[in-house]
Amino acid sequence: MRESLRLIEQELITKLLSGQTPLNTFKKGEQIFLALCIFFVAVGAVFLIYATYLWSSGHYSAEMAAALTGAFSLICALVVAVAIYGIITYRRIRIMRMQRSLFEKVKVSLAAFEDEYGAPIREYPKISVLLTSVAGFILEKRLF
């Protein structure tokens, strides 16, 4: 029983405090790199739209060129929106899968904990609540 409790405790500590969970935010360098990428994608999109207008204005009337450029812009926006939706959905699924796994491990560890420490917790509920609050506070500071 003690060995399984230690194994579960070690797994929880590794998962929560390792910094590899999708709950953690980006680091500062990653944020700067992402902002630069978004900026250059936006500049590239503007020039692509302008090039589409210039090309179509040589082949069609001004109104038709503007309509084709607008349609091209809307199609590009739709593709980007679908890609962003896919990324958000994938990330949400990954987080939910990790939460389920973590909840199962916590459930097993609490069951083992209940077997060993159930009586002292029922006997001293105020101290138990205090210790639980302190543990939650420490975990909150480490995760977020």
| Phi-psi sector, 133: left (phi>0), alpha (psi -120 to 50), beta | alpha
What is the pTM assigned to this prediction? Answer: 0.50
Where b means 16+ CB within 10 Å and e means fewer, 32-60 reads eeeeeeeeeeeeeeeeeeeebbeebeeee
List the helix and strand counts (H, then E) for the chain. 4, 0
> Reduced to 3 states, what is the DSSP secondary structure of residue 20?
coil
Q: How many CB atoms lie within 10 A of CB 108?
A: 14
C-beta separation of 53 from 65 below 8 A: yes
Please tell me the distance from the alpha carbon of residue 96 to that of residue 103, in angstroms, as a whole number: 10
Give the model confidence (pLDDT) of 86-96 as tens digits.
Answer: 988 998 898 88
Q: Give pLDDT, residue 144.
A: 63
- Residue 105 CA to residue 75 CA, distance in Å, equals 45
pLDDT averaged over every residue in the chain: 80
Mean pLDDT of 111-137: 82
Per-residue pLDDT reduced to its tens digit, 45-74:
889 889 989 988 889 898 898 888 888 888
Tokens representing 138 are 């420490």
